[in-house]
Structure 1
């Protein structure tokens, strides 16, 4: 059976109050949509919230897997979302992408892999809004958490 993949696009300044709704949505995706693979970005508060929920859910649902998809070659930094580089993925080909284009390239890669896209978008500008719109245009199942 093919893995059902979920990825995420959201604003950097996502409030903690989104976490319960996010958890409920991911449980529903696991239990009713057979999503078993999660690709999470590595920038901002939304990605951090997603990672914490997916890590918790992996304890309850041991069949699911998750990867933090990096936009840059990993460098150990204090501000990293992860204490180590377990559960990270560096997409093949990203090493040839100029740094200024790496996040967009990584997001396009994540979108190509996805069956389902969870979004947190409250305004129609910026990368999160751009990739949420692109996901809809490509016919992906889009599950919004924000206003848009």
Structure 2
């Protein structure tokens, strides 16, 4: 089972949010999740990475993978050191200004489950969540979202 994360760069990061995400990830691992895709750019991505590192100590068989939006970016090379591996989706012909959006779309398309911390219905995280819904993915949404 493959899990992707999506969430805002800025959000009320709290112990409650971290505990919610820890519980969600732990339950998904118990259900057979082994691959976790992260975008690596925003605040929610940093929280998800922190949670995944803790889970890796308990479940060494899981993989948390940085999904790159660009190739040959010095920042990505440095960030990639914190992940088990990286993957570059088929984005070679995508204009740079659309790379993150297309990467997020790819993550929504290839995952089995989307774990989302989305607090409002606009912006990149909301767009990614909408795409996952359109693709009929299983979605685990933070309890604070107001639909």
TM (normalized to structure 1)? 0.87
> For 1:70, which of 68, 72, 90 is the aligned residue?
68
Deviation at 1:137, TM superposition (A): 2.3
Matches within 5 A, 1:1-148: 4-17=1-14, 18-31=17-30, 33-77=31-75, 81-83=79-81, 87-91=85-89, 93-148=90-145
Matched length: 143
Structure 2 vs 1, CA of residues 70 and 143 (structure 1 numbering), >3 Å: closer, same or farther?
A: same
| Separation (CA, whole Å) in 2 of partners of 1:146 and 1:42 | 23
| Separation (CA, whole Å) in 2 of partners of 1:100 and 1:121 | 22
The alignment yields a C-alpha RMSD, in angstroms, of 2.1
Deviation at 1:146, TM superposition (A): 5.0
| Separation (CA, whole Å) in 1 of partners of 2:45 and 2:54 | 14
Deviation at 1:81, TM superposition (A): 3.9
| Separation (CA, whole Å) in 1 of partners of 2:8 and 2:71 | 23
* Cα deviation 1:20-39 (Å, max 9, x = unaligned): 211111001111x2111100
Q: Which runs of 4+ in 1 moved over 6 A?
A: none
